[in-house]
Structure 1
Amino acid sequence: MATINIRRDVADPFYRYKMEKLQSKIEGKGNGIKSVIVNLPSIATSLARPPIYVVKYFGFELGAQTNTGDNDRWIINGAHEASKLQDLLDGFITRFVLCKECHNPETDLTISKDQNIIRNCKACGQRTMVDARLKLSSYILKNPPKKEGKEKRDKKEKKKSRAAGNGEEGKEASNSEEEGNKNGNGGLVTGSNNLDQYKAEAGSDDEFSRHIREAAKDITADGTADGGFTIDTSEKAMKERQRNELTSAVEKLTMGDDEDDEEGAGSSSFDTFATWFEAQGDKPSDVDDIEIWKKLSELGLDQKHKTLQVLPQCMFDENIVKQIAPRAGLLKKLINKTDRHEKAFLGGIERLVGKSFPALIPSMPTILHQIYENEIVSEEAILKWGEKPSKRYVDTATSKKVKGASASFLTWLKEADDEEDSEEEEEDDE
């Protein structure tokens, strides 16, 4: 898709800040005529602003009602040409994106204690105020942006530091445990491979790792649960389960339900994609991200949240922990941080692990950690997903196992978040 400079007054073809050219289509007739902005999520991502802010700005400027993005359809009542909306977008960028000092679009929005909207520029470091008299300013104050960008990265660093600190406090205990392992008394008997893998990636034997170790104790090294249920972990069995679950996932989308119905997301398209992916090679890594994107676009599935239910069945296998990071760029582009897309992706992961590769259930904390670290899904979505078992993507019993195994990561994420909120409140009081 054609891209243009975010600042259209800059003619430099090598200008680093780009976005897709706005595309819209006019639907309906008479009093029911409306304009649909086809690629608003992509444009909003390039501007680091929620899509709802952009569409609300259009509505205020045009004096028209807007749709809040149900089914990823961003609608403005009335007939509005793409060129007109592109001109209005320039106004939004000037007022709510560009730094007033250096005119760089690399900013994010925060709300100050005195209820002013501040643009924080990552390029020059200046903090400039947005005009409070604008109609959209009132909307933003009532619907503040989620913490993203630098604040989110800082938040993660705090969590890592806190976890590392806890690890130092428990270092002596860990050393004693290691000594016991050498002597043959007190060694890990279950889930050790998963834990060792996580420790290598995390870089420290912190408290979080110990929580994961505790959560894995109900699974023995040969994949047998305490209840006697044996998991066939042979390559042939795993591949067969994955193929069956992919077929099942597509069939589930074929039946559909009221909540997830999407215009134009025909079941045959999902089936065609699954068949195409399987024909590309024996391993998920055989298929390039660009080819996946092209195929999804060709089938009209690149904007559909149901696509995220199918993708994990195709793109990942028993090596999912190592496969997530290389796919992060494509997944973030497809998910676009909408609630429905995030929910569907986590549901796809739940189905992949719970049904295709049940031996990976103890690894759920590591899998979620990779998803969180690579900023594929927001922490809010992960916590909401983990609240209670659901039969939406798998049977309730399997959902309970998967989410139960994830408890250590969910607890760590929630407690660290609560502590940071308390720290922020104390700073505000000061």
Structure 2
Amino acid sequence: MPVLLTKIEGKGNGIKTVIPNMSDVSRSLSRPPTYPTKFFGCELGAQTSFDEKADRYIVNGAHDADKLRDLLDTFIVKFVLCGSCKNPETELIITKNEDLIRDCKACGERTIVDMRHKLVTFILKNPPKNPKKSKGAKKQGTAENGQNSPKVQAEEPLADGEGSDHELAKIRSEVAGLEENAAIAEEDWSVDTSAEAIKARMKSLGAVMAKVKLGDDDSGDEGNGDDPYSQLGAWVSENQDAGPVEVFRKVQEMGLEKKHKAVQVLVQTLFTEDIVEEIKLSAPIFLKMVTSERHQKALLGGLERFLGIDHPDLISVVPKVLMEFYQIDVLEEEVVKQWGTHVSRKYVDKETSKKVRKASEPFLQWLDEAEDDDDDE
């Protein structure tokens, strides 16, 4: 977070404190700049004004920069940090009973803020823009062939410190488990080393990697059976029931946890015909490994090959698959939209690329409609 800056303007009764970098500070906290500005006014008993178009945020009166920085720390504690793990990666959610909840992306807990603070009234009247996850919950399921799924129930109020039992909390817990169990467990691996067994395994390896076409990679080898991606693909294909923790351990053991091509290989070898249901089970792996736009594009490239070439009979579930990855915060709206409107021959032939993107149109349309609904609100 950048250091909060202040500038005193005017004199006499018209003196005021302008905060020139309030937008940058607020962006780092994932909060609208009007919230901390109004918080300063509430704490100092001063009037505030803001012009979001001109990016100008003002607190009436002359106020010392150090004082405002101390108040900003208080704002962070009250309205940003998770009440359970003290992590700042939270989103503000307003429940149907108008309780203000901090939804933590790190530990999955949902904790209520101090509802007695004056800023709460301002936030309830000026709610934060819906995050992509809330949009997904609001209209989940409409992407598939235009059909509506059952309505998602409204959020229930939680007591301070009370944990949420929703599905994402479980996924986050599994991600934490991956951190704690990063060391590879010592096991007794007994491998059949007979000539017949080795020949069978090499045949299986060749069949697996024949399906995997890597794009431009940092290494010179691509799917030749000796490179780490080929070895990872073969191992995952033979151990699809190992579970997310064991798969991630294998990825770590091979030093591929930060490689975007490893994400593509996992997509092509980890799933079966039941991919829609399997995505939730494998969510912890992708939440750990997909950390950039490049990782997301590699994931989408893997889906192109898996659904367009390996399982063309599953082409109709493309919207469902995209929705599942979107709902667990692995795919971002901007990345999916850009991918869906630009045909590429990087992973598949042009016709297959067109076919997969054509099948994704219901999901892309749903994203546009959800965004329009937010603008209307």
With normalisation by structure 1, the TM-score equals 0.45
Structure 1: distance between partners of 2:302 and 2:75: 36
Q: Confirm or deny: 8 A CA contact 2:304 2:356 kept in the other structure.
A: yes
Question: Are the structure 2 counterparts of residues 288 and 100 from structure 1 closer, same or farther at C-alpha, using a change threshold of 3 Å?
Answer: closer
Structure 1: distance between partners of 2:304 and 2:317: 12
Q: Confirm or deny: 8 A CA contact 1:305 1:335 kept in the other structure.
A: yes
Match of 2:358 among 397, 404, 407: 404
Structure 1: distance between partners of 2:272 and 2:259: 23
Residue 82 of structure 1 is matched in structure 2 by none
Q: Confirm or deny: 8 A CA contact 2:319 2:362 kept in the other structure.
A: yes
Q: Confirm or deny: 8 A CA contact 2:79 2:102 kept in the other structure.
A: no
Question: Are the structure 2 counterparts of residues 404 and 262 from structure 1 closer, same or farther at C-alpha, using a change threshold of 3 Å?
Answer: same
Match of 2:218 among 261, 275, 284: 261
Correspondence list, 1:336-347, <5 A: 336=291, 338-347=292-301
Amino acid at match of 2:135: K
Residue 377 of structure 1 is matched in structure 2 by 331
Correspondence list, 1:17-28, <5 A: none
Residue 416 of structure 1 is matched in structure 2 by 370
Structure 2: distance between partners of 1:396 and 1:421: 35
Structure 1: distance between partners of 2:346 and 2:236: 25
**SS of the residue aligned with 2:131?**
helix
Matching of residue 203 in structure 1 with residue 150 in structure 2: yes
- CA drift of 1:100 comes to 7.2
Structure 1: distance between partners of 2:312 and 2:81: 53
**SS of the residue aligned with 1:306?**
helix
Match of 2:305 among 328, 343, 351: 351
Residue 247 of structure 1 is matched in structure 2 by 210
Residue 236 of structure 2 is matched in structure 1 by 277
Residue 159 of structure 1 is matched in structure 2 by 139
**SS of the residue aligned with 1:293?**
helix
Q: Confirm or deny: 8 A CA contact 1:305 1:344 kept in the other structure.
A: yes
Residue 314 of structure 1 is matched in structure 2 by 269
Q: Confirm or deny: 8 A CA contact 2:287 2:330 kept in the other structure.
A: yes
Structure 2: distance between partners of 1:299 and 1:243: 19
Q: Confirm or deny: 8 A CA contact 2:237 2:269 kept in the other structure.
A: yes
Residue 33 of structure 1 is matched in structure 2 by none
Question: Are the structure 2 counterparts of residues 265 and 99 from structure 1 closer, same or farther at C-alpha, using a change threshold of 3 Å?
Answer: farther
- CA drift of 1:320 comes to 0.9
Residue 54 of structure 1 is matched in structure 2 by none
**SS of the residue aligned with 1:303?**
coil
**SS of the residue aligned with 2:245?**
helix
Question: Are the structure 2 counterparts of residues 375 and 300 from structure 1 closer, same or farther at C-alpha, using a change threshold of 3 Å?
Answer: same
Q: Confirm or deny: 8 A CA contact 1:364 1:405 kept in the other structure.
A: yes
> Which digits, 9 at most, give the CA deviation of each residue in 1:358-386, with x for residues without a partner?
01112211221222223221222221210
* Percent identity of paired positions between Structure 1 and Structure 2: 33
Unpaired runs of 5+ residues, structure 2, are 1-27, 31-71, 92-100, 104-110, 118-127, 152-202
Structure 2: distance between partners of 1:365 and 1:292: 26
- CA drift of 1:265 comes to 11
Residue 195 of structure 2 is matched in structure 1 by none
Residue 395 of structure 1 is matched in structure 2 by 349
Structure 1: distance between partners of 2:312 and 2:267: 14
Residue 113 of structure 2 is matched in structure 1 by 125
**SS of the residue aligned with 2:236?**
helix
More displaced stretch, 368-377 vs 316-325: 368-377
- CA drift of 1:415 comes to 2.3
Q: Confirm or deny: 8 A CA contact 1:107 1:121 kept in the other structure.
A: no
Question: Are the structure 2 counterparts of residues 107 and 399 from structure 1 closer, same or farther at C-alpha, using a change threshold of 3 Å?
Answer: same
Residue 185 of structure 2 is matched in structure 1 by none
> Which digits, 9 at most, give the CA deviation of each residue in 1:64-121, with x for residues without a partner?
xxxxxxxxxxxxxxxxxxxxxxxxxxxxx979964479884254589xxxxxxxxx85
**SS of the residue aligned with 2:139?**
helix
- CA drift of 1:158 comes to 3.4
Question: Are the structure 2 counterparts of residues 366 and 265 from structure 1 closer, same or farther at C-alpha, using a change threshold of 3 Å?
Answer: same
Amino acid at match of 1:268: D
> Which digits, 9 at most, give the CA deviation of each residue in 1:113-165, with x for residues without a partner?
xxxxxxx855342599xxxxxxxxxxxxxxxxx98xx733333343349x69x
Q: Confirm or deny: 8 A CA contact 2:296 2:331 kept in the other structure.
A: yes
Match of 2:257 among 284, 302, 324: 302
Structure 2: distance between partners of 1:412 and 1:247: 35
- CA drift of 1:202 comes to 3.1
Correspondence list, 1:90-129, <5 A: 98-99=77-78, 104=83, 105-107=86-88, 121=102, 123-125=111-113
Structure 1: distance between partners of 2:75 and 2:227: 42
Structure 2: distance between partners of 1:103 and 1:287: 33
Question: Are the structure 2 counterparts of residues 302 and 263 from structure 1 closer, same or farther at C-alpha, using a change threshold of 3 Å?
Answer: farther
Question: Are the structure 2 counterparts of residues 94 and 416 from structure 1 closer, same or farther at C-alpha, using a change threshold of 3 Å?
Answer: same
Q: Confirm or deny: 8 A CA contact 2:244 2:281 kept in the other structure.
A: no
The structure carrying a bigger helix percent of its residues is: 1
